[in-house]
Amino acid sequence: MLASVGFLLLNFLALSAASTYPNYHAEFHDDDEEISDSAKWWQTGAFYQIYPRSFKDSNGDGVGDLNGISSNLPYLKDLGITATWLSPIFTSPMADFGYDIANFTEIAPIFGTMADFEALMVKAKELDIKIILDFVPNHSSDECDWFKRSAAGEEEYKDFYVWHPGRMVDGKRQPPSNWISVFHGPAWEWHPGRKEYYLHQFVKKQPDLNYRNPKVREAMNNVLRFWLAKGVSGFRIDAVPHVFELGPNAQNEYRDEPRNDGDNDPNDYGYLQHIYTVDQPETIDLVYSWRAVLDEFQRENGGEDRILMAETYSPIEIVMKYYGNGTAEGAQLPFNFLLISELTNASNAQAYAMTVQKWLQYMPAGRTANWVLGNHDKPRVGSRLGSDRVDMLNMLITTLPGASVTYQGEELGMTDVWISWKDTVDPSACNTNPSIYEQFSRDPERTPFQWSNAKDAGFSNANKTWLPIGPDYQVVNVEQENQTPLSHLNIYKKLLSLRKESKTLQQGATEVKALNGAVLAVKRMLQNEQTYITVLNIYDGVETVNLQQFFNDLPQELQVVVISGRSIVKEGDLVKTDSIQLQPKDSLVLRSTSTFYSGYSSGGQFPLPWSIYLGLGQVALYLSYRQILTLN
């Protein structure tokens, strides 16, 4: 009798666990497979973009600088940031605010000195924050020594840039092709000294380098090596798709690009279909060659991975090639801009789900996803998708698999600032006119970071900052939000802390589903670990959803881990999975309260830990032994 009780007890406990603590799926790992802890630092990294001009001014000139960044690295540490990418800090006449580089291995005086940079590297190392630099390969400044020598016809530099004598039309010299600059107007500029046109896909003070010249490739490889030797952990590659353009034909003629019938302004970049000036096949191989430079440096010097992050808004089939192929490695993180380019304020939950799934479905096996909400070239997420969606979007990018990328201020919920034509400084806008400049300006998302409610939002003590301060700085700032428990800032901190402590969020499998038109849900699951569910109510109605209808292996209750400022539940509450109620624009991160499960799903059975089976087996044997003694 006692033996039978022991046997029944063992089965009862196993079945009880099966119905109460669902956790993982059979397809993840074999029962005896160990979960790897060897993820690279960047694979689940929290990346943070700093736009140096607008982060912190340390010397009162109204422009941010390196010492301002150094003094506030503890802020990034407090956030939980893994690495910070700095927009260009190199010597430049600032025609495009640092993206027109005169010397690729010097620090611009407006940002400080090389000694300041080296001090920043020391501070970052102390805090275990990695530094990523901007690498701008497509062009230099026309004030770069290379360009001056090329324009003068020096043999060593003669073909460092893309030059052409132009074409004769009705006896008059014309540009070599009809190509248009990204920043409005012709992409060819006549140089009176050399008496030839040079190509500039951006402003005319940014001549395009000629990567068909091996000397140019090696010169830029040496730029990478220089900064690697300074201790940086990698590079964000700027404007990658533009690096190559279709070369001239046998008659030394460039082809015109075809018209885009949807645009009637002949000076607008959208006027043409850019089939010859972006996404040329050689570009991918060039990125692979830069990865080889980083890998060579690592082999020779040791240490952790040095990485490439590639900026490309190309079609996704092309973006995926940047990861690498069967024989060559590419960028570890080609930027995923789908959340920027494919979602609008009107997008529903199905659109969100499709956007997330698109990247995961196209991404080659074994690669790492990344999720970018904003940058210095695009309207801030709070302005683009709604300031009342900031928390849910930060929940989304920090609980999806892979790395997250945050643009400075978006952890606070900073929004775009209206800039008058008089105060506009962005060349993309200044090359237009007062009636249309706003649709081209990037100044609104580049305004100074808001540290406090003090003068100039704590950014500077100058009489005038390089761009105006946001009018909401007295409420939206670090000091204020640090004191508010459910501020955007504190929610962001909790999310990064949660990802650092959760193996599931770092390594688990992912399901992304629209539960209806308003609610998006993300499930993360990993064997022997807690399951997480992130739910977002994208719209303005109260929503009640049954997670059991959409996801297998969920318990009857989940625990609330992170809430938004709109939630009526509290952290630590238990909520029924068949009736999760979400307030308008509400979002929650939930998790299971147990890590083990035994039952059937997807044709597989999941055992409890062997220690539990062993203990229960010993109980059963003991009861059987007692039964034998009783019978004797």
Mind telling me the catalytic residues? Answer: 238, 311
240 strand-pairing partners: none
Which pair of structure tokens corresponds to residue 516?
Answer: 């209806």
- 505 membership: H or E segment, kind and range: helix 503-507
Contacts (Cβ under 8 Å, ≥6 apart) of 386: 345, 585
36, 29 in Cβ contact below 8 A? Answer: no
In what order do the strands lie in the sheet containing 188-191?
A: 163-164, 196-199, 188-191
467, 446 in Cβ contact below 8 A? Answer: yes
Contacts (Cβ under 8 Å, ≥6 apart) of 115: none
277, 245 in Cβ contact below 8 A? Answer: yes
- 481 membership: H or E segment, kind and range: helix 478-482
253, 167 in Cβ contact below 8 A? Answer: yes
**402, 404, 396, 309: which is closest to 363 by C-alpha?**
402
378 to 382, 383, 415, 419, 446: CA distances (angstroms) = 11, 10, 11, 15, 9
> What CA–CA distance (Å, rounded) separates 297 from 583?
52
DSSP assignment of 38-102: ---TTTT-EEEEE-GGGT--SSSSSS--HHHHHHTHHHHHHHT-SEEEEPP-EE---TTTTSS-S
DSSP assignment of 355-422: HHHHHHHHSPTT---EEE---TTS--HHHHT-GGGHHHHHHHHHHSSSEEEEETTTTTT-------TT
413, 490 in Cβ contact below 8 A? Answer: no
